[in-house]
Amino acid sequence: MSRRVKLTVAYDGTDYCGWQIQPNGITVEEVLNKKISKLTGEDIRIIGASRTDSGVHALGNVAVFDTESSIPPERMAYALNQKLPDDIVIRQSYQVPDDWHPRYQDHVVKTYEYHICNAPVPNPLKRRYSTHVSFPMDVEAMKKGAAYLIGEHDFVSFCNIKTNVEDTVRTVYALDIMQEGEDITLRITGNGFLYNMVRIIAGTLIRVGRGFYEPERVKEILDEKVRTAAGVTAPPNGLVLVEIGYDDSENGGYSEEERR
């Protein structure tokens, strides 16, 4: 009997051409398809929740696949982790309803973090997971600029011009900027994000932090509704998809105990 298994996937995206299968290089989706197919003896094609870009990392991306394997769904994570490379890990696996889809749910909450190393010279131990900014940054100014992005807005100024969607309105529930020593973290939570949206927000707030933009410029960029008004797209290595949250009812109503 076929079952749908949900996976929570973490990966270091440095050596991958993003999540989605493409002809120009290896991707996370491609590796998962091959390893799950080998494990189950089936031709598996997973469905992912978020198609992260080349070089972007994740702690909590979500994917599902259908299988008739006798391996218990909650044990699938352990079995797969024996076969996956060290830079991809299944953090959790469990069964969901057959029609449950990771992208088409009524209430989805996504959280990303963008990491900046703000120091005079780069730290080679942080180069894979943070973007280096050598000039001093005003974090308080960044916080003031970030406040304009909270709420429901048309974020067309903050998305790649190649974005192929008609509706560019999104809701940002929270956008926090935290500093600990030379490490600055932008943590953003919303109901969804446009192509390159978080990286463009990060690039714009970095310009605020460096003094190129006043914090009020962020509101002006929103109002102008044109991509060229915003800052550059920040590099991918600083971006991490932290979590994708769903209502329990949309997960099939299973409790945490039932999912373990």
- Residues making up the binding site: 112
Cα–Cα separations (whole angstroms), residue 102 to 44, 48, 85, 174: 16, 7, 24, 22
CA dihedral of residues 92, 96, 100, 103 (deg, nearest 10): -10
Kindly report the CA angle at 128 between 56 and 27, in degrees rounded to 5? 40
Binding-site members for substrate are: 112
- The DSSP code for 165 is -
Residue 85 token pair: 């490379």
Do 221 and 168 meet the contact criterion of CB atoms below 8 Å apart? Answer: no
Catalytic positions: 53
Instruction: Give the integer Cα–Cα distance in Å for 163 and 245.
Output: 24
β-pairing verdict for 108-118 and 47-48: unpaired
The three-class DSSP label of residue 235 is coil
Return the amino acid letter for 253. Answer: G
